[in-house]
Amino acid sequence: MSEIRQNLVTKDWVIIATERAKRPEDFKKKNSVSPQLPKFEKNCPFCPGNEKDMSPEETLRVDKNGKWQVRIIPNKYPALSRTEERIRTVDGIKRKITGAGIHEVVIETPLHNTTTALLPKEDVESIIKSYKIRYNEMLKDERVEMIIIFKNHGEAAGTSLVHSHSQIVATPVVPAQVRERFHDAQQYFDENLECVFCKILAEELKDGKRIVLETDGFVSFIPYAALSPFHMWIYPKRHTSSFGEISNNEMEDLAEHLRIVLLKYYRGLDNPDFNYVIRSAPTGLKNIEFFHWYLSIVPRITKTAGFELGSGMFINTSLPENDAEFLRNVKMDL
């Protein structure tokens, strides 16, 4: 019999459709065999030597053995302008803000034929450190109210370039979804005198059924009311509201943690398309008791259809407990 679970963070009701539930292995990427990619692609703007084709300007570079390992550059086709002044206007029902902000691309590796899951730990750590440096630098921009760090992997996740990369976007507004989650988290704190994220983390650790990986500083788990199959959250154990507050030890831990989790997806689900996003507090809010930053990973192995669009509810055709067990048992070469 199906059941409807509520996600305490998003407030979404999720139908866990046990009658239609698939086995975890049924979600493996179909037709995943692809041509072997070269280490260097002459037409790829992210490959070493092709920098001028995308952007010779850099906002950050991490070197390794005398060559760049990570480059962060302005997006060639930015969604927002780093030179625009932020101006708000209201004309009746027409409300707008100039497109002021920052849009950068994080080129995660010089190799064209690899992905985060296959990088050594120290290279993933360089990516995490680069995120933090640029995040904290963008915090200084008075136009910025929200900073979103995200990765699109694969066509179904919205990427058009194969070369492994992620993005950072700093916006002049706080999106409505973020405001709603903040409001709900604050309301939970006011009513229960505890952080809802810390509460979820404690309960998930106590239950154990949905835990995929636990390290000294982080826990990966499939939420009790996961919105889709294999949807995963990575929570820091230490309560901090801003990603910019991550410590050196936590960056090292998160790098190893993220690498292992993505490798489990890669091996277990045959390199599925996915998005990940770091959800952090708006720039004007620091040391918030009721909010806890985290990283969310959403494999794009199912599609949103009419029911979800019409109702605002999600149908998950996979049991979170089964998904977590499947990923725990994925054999990997570390």
Burial of 117 (C-beta count, 10 Å sphere; 0-12/13-18/19+): buried
Strand order in the sheet with 165-171: 60-64, 67-74, 102-107, 165-171, 146-153, 274-279, 294-299, 232-236, 218-221, 211-214
Q: What is the Cα–Cα distance from 79 to 103, expressed in whole angstroms?
A: 7
Identify whether 114 is part of a domain.
Answer: yes
For residue range 38-75, list pLDDT tens digits in order. 999 988 999 998 877 666 689 999 999 999 999 999 99
Does residue 334 lie within any of the structural domains? no
Q: Does the active-site annotation cover 165?
A: yes
Q: Is residue 295 part of a domain?
A: yes
**Are 187 and 172 contacting, i.e. CB atoms less than 8 angstroms apart?**
no
Work out how many domains the chain is built from and give that number: 1
Degrees, nearest 5: CA angle 213-282-221: 15
333 inside domain: no
Looking at per-residue pLDDT, the higher value among 109 and 285 belongs to 109
Mean pLDDT of 289-310: 89
pLDDT band for position 305 (50/70/90)? confident
Q: Which two tokens stand for residue 181?
A: 């989650």
| Residue 245, domain member (yes or no) | yes
Position 33 scores a pLDDT of: 47
The two tokens of residue 23 are 């086995």
CATH for 323: 3.30.428.10
- Per the structure, the complete domain to which residue 233 belongs is given by 3-328
Averaged pLDDT, 304-323? 86
Active-site hit among 163, 165, 231, 257:
165
Tell me what pLDDT residue 306 has.
Answer: 83
Residue 71 exposure: Cα atoms within 13 Å on the Cβ side: 24
Position 321 pLDDT exceeds 70: yes
Report which secondary-structure segment, H or E, holds 70: strand 67-74
- Confirm if 171 and 146 have CB atoms less than 8 A apart: yes
Flag whether 71 is in a domain: yes
For residue range 260-273, list pLDDT tens digits in order.
999 999 999 999 99
Chain segment 176-234, per-residue pLDDT in tens: 988 998 999 999 999 999 999 999 999 999 999 999 999 999 999 999 999 999 999 99
d(CA 104, CA 78): 8
Q: Positive or negative CA dihedral for 83, 138, 195, 257?
A: positive
Query: Residues 256, 265, 155, CA angle at the centre, nearest 5°?
Result: 115
